[in-house]
Chain A
Amino acid sequence: MMANLGTVLEVVTATDPGMVRSHNEDSIGTDAEIGLAVLADGMGGYNAGEVASGIAVAMLTTEMRQALEAHEPHETDGSGEPLAVKLIKENSGKANAAIYQTAKSQPQYAGMGTTLVVALFYDNRMTVGHIGDSRLYRLRGDQFEQITRDHSLLQEQIDSGMISREQARYSQNKNLVTRAVGIDPEVEIEVHTYDVEPGDIYLLCSDGLSDMVMDEDIHATLAMLQANLPLAAKQLVQQANDSGGRDNISVILVRVLEAFEASTGWFAKFKAWFR
């Protein structure tokens, strides 16, 4: 049986083309009931970018919903991996294949691709998968942390010690991702699972936010406006636009209102059986 997380998660979204671009190539999708948030930042000429990001988000939201109607995300099979992890891997692979095929068969979409960040909340946990430079951050108490690590040339340069984080801010190679959905026949999504605590606020965003607004300012905005999440989302977009808004800006905020442990007792199983 599907646990309804609609009452334990507060989810708000905002997306904006920014100040320079004529159209929005970002796509976002959320399904609070199954605890899902998906964000994709498309790339490619003409309107191919939004086609790619749109396919990825649609694929993830519909396929995951369907799968979770029959099974619970914490269930494990023989591999020991929770279903959540499997679903994110499987469906990002499907999205990759769909975009790759479309790009190959229709010349106007040649070369399109998209970043992807997807978070699934279940059983006091969150499984997050990402490809490219769209990010997930967490505000827990006073701690604001970037949870995902970009698949970008810049991040690799930081990791190898070649440049510092401070210097990275001024790099001109910000926009080079080393992994994207739909570019090659196959793609590997990076997946991790984290514990979730009531009060946590999660931010999924495209680089239109993280390149324009410094982490300290994102942190300050979330901390000060956490009583009003929709306002916080609006404010983040506004700050990116006030700083130039050079790219599309998308934001998903998820606040954990209370604990949501999966019911694994005999009664739950019993009930599920008779459903």
Chain B
Amino acid sequence: MAKLIMSLDNAVIREVSLDKERFTIGRKAHNDIQIDNLAVSGEHALIVTILNDSFLEDLGSTNGTLVNGNPIKKHILQHNDVIEIGKYKLKYVSEQPTGQASVADFEKTMVLRAPMAKAAMEATQSGFGDTQVSLSATTQSQPPQVAAAPAKQAENMAAVQILTGPSAGKELELTKNLTTLGKPGVQVAVITRRPHGYFITHVEGANFPIVNGKALDAQAHQLNDHDVVELAGVKMEFFLKNG
């Protein structure tokens, strides 16, 4: 279960477990988290928790709600987000630190049965009311890379320098995951950037790429520094760039 750690001037005041669906934050006494300070609005903010996700919404407070220093209207809370309300800070700690979540269970698909799904949706909708506010403000606060974290790419940058033909001397940096080389319809090969290096694979054409004088087969072939690739009659050199 996620919790909030509330602090003022770096001194922890209290800890609140988000053990129910709705948590209101505000100056008035009826709030779940009462902050008796004039900088805080009577009904300042709301946190709705559904399963593993908690959503924070500012309820039109006078002085606003910040997450990690950015003003938000609605925000999907991430592990270690710091909510600021007045001078108070509330750190959101998700019980399963994202990223290192138990990998085995992480992506297991589960069915949310219809009645439950409906309840969850209703809960969230009643939570956020009909306010159709643009979420653009929150998208700017960059959420940490969690589920779709891009693959860790090869450490070294690499490039291909054309050695022969009209473009001789030109250099092509391999900045994308895939870079195709050659002439479409004649001969094309692709260089893929992977975590453990760069690989060249034949894509189309009757002839296969030649690396250091040897023709490849249909399999991917790992490129080493200073390998010479011949493709559609053009020679080029693959090399790693440091830094």
A183-B113, A238-B194 as given contacts; A169 in contact with B148, CB under 8 Å: yes
Residues of B within 8 A of A221 (CB): 177-178
Cβ-defined contact, B117 with A162, below 8 A: no
A207-B109 Cα distance, complex, nearest whole Å:
9
- Of the listed stretches A1-9, A75-83, A92-100, A239-247, name the one at the interface; the rest are far from the partner chain: A239-247
Interface string of A223-262 (1 = CB under 8 A from B): 0110110010001001100111011000000000000000
A162-B53 Cα distance, complex, nearest whole Å:
12
Q: Does A175 reach chain B (CB closer than 8 Å)?
A: yes
Interface size on B, residues (CB 8 A): 55
Cβ-defined contact, B203 with A176, below 8 A: no
- Give the nearest-CB partner of B79 in chain A: A172
A75-B190 Cα distance, complex, nearest whole Å:
44
Cβ-defined contact, A246 with B107, below 8 A: yes
Q: Does B38 reach chain A (CB closer than 8 Å)?
A: no
Q: Does B11 reach chain A (CB closer than 8 Å)?
A: no
Q: Does B138 reach chain A (CB closer than 8 Å)?
A: yes
A184-B195 Cα distance, complex, nearest whole Å:
43
Cβ-defined contact, A174 with B135, below 8 A: no
- Give the nearest-CB partner of A181 in chain B: B111
Q: For window 14-30 of chain B, which residues contact chain A by CB distance below 8 Å?
A: none
Interface string of B55-78 (1 = CB under 8 A from A): 100000000000000000010101
Cβ-defined contact, B111 with A180, below 8 A: yes
Cβ-defined contact, B128 with A162, below 8 A: yes
- Give the nearest-CB partner of B54 in chain A: A172
Question: How many residue-residue contacts, CB under 8 A, span A and B?
Answer: 155
Interface string of A147-160 (1 = CB under 8 A from B): 00000010011001
Q: Does B50 reach chain A (CB closer than 8 Å)?
A: yes
Cβ-defined contact, B110 with A43, below 8 A: yes
Q: Does B206 reach chain A (CB closer than 8 Å)?
A: no
A175-B108, A175-B109 as given contacts; A164 in contact with B55, CB under 8 Å: no
- Give the nearest-CB partner of A114 in chain B: B109
Residues of B within 8 A of A153 (CB): 50-51, 112, 117, 120-121
Specify which of B53, B110, B111, B146 lies most central, judged by the most chain A CB atoms within 10 Å of its CB.
B111
Residues of A within 8 A of B175 (CB): none
- Give the nearest-CB partner of A169 in chain B: B148
- Of the listed stretches A60-68, A118-126, A138-146, A210-218, name the one at the interface; the rest are far from the partner chain: A210-218
Q: Does B161 reach chain A (CB closer than 8 Å)?
A: no
- Give the nearest-CB partner of B139 in chain A: A166
Q: What is the minimal beta-carbon distance from A199 to any residue of chain B, in angstroms?
A: 14
Q: What is the minimal beta-carbon distance from A273 to any residue of chain B, in angstroms?
A: 44
Q: Does A108 reach chain B (CB closer than 8 Å)?
A: no
Q: Does B188 reach chain A (CB closer than 8 Å)?
A: yes
- Give the nearest-CB partner of A221 in chain B: B178
Cβ-defined contact, A178 with B112, below 8 A: yes
Cβ-defined contact, B76 with A167, below 8 A: yes
Specify which of A164, A176, A221 lies most central, judged by the most chain B CB atoms within 10 Å of its CB.
A176
| Besides A20-B104, A160-B121, 8 new A-B residue pairs in contact (Cβ under 8 A), listed by A number | A153-B112, A167-B135, A174-B107, A176-B110, A177-B109, A184-B113, A225-B178, A227-B204
Q: Give 14 CB contacts A-B under 8 Å.
A: A167-B139, A170-B78, A170-B144, A172-B51, A174-B107, A176-B112, A177-B110, A178-B112, A211-B147, A211-B148, A221-B177, A228-B204, A243-B148, A243-B150
User: Which A residues form the contact surface with B (CB < 8 A)?
Assistant: 20, 41, 43, 113, 115, 132-133, 153, 156-157, 160-164, 166-167, 169-180, 183-184, 207-208, 211-214, 217, 220-221, 224-225, 227-228, 231, 235, 238-239, 242-244, 246-247
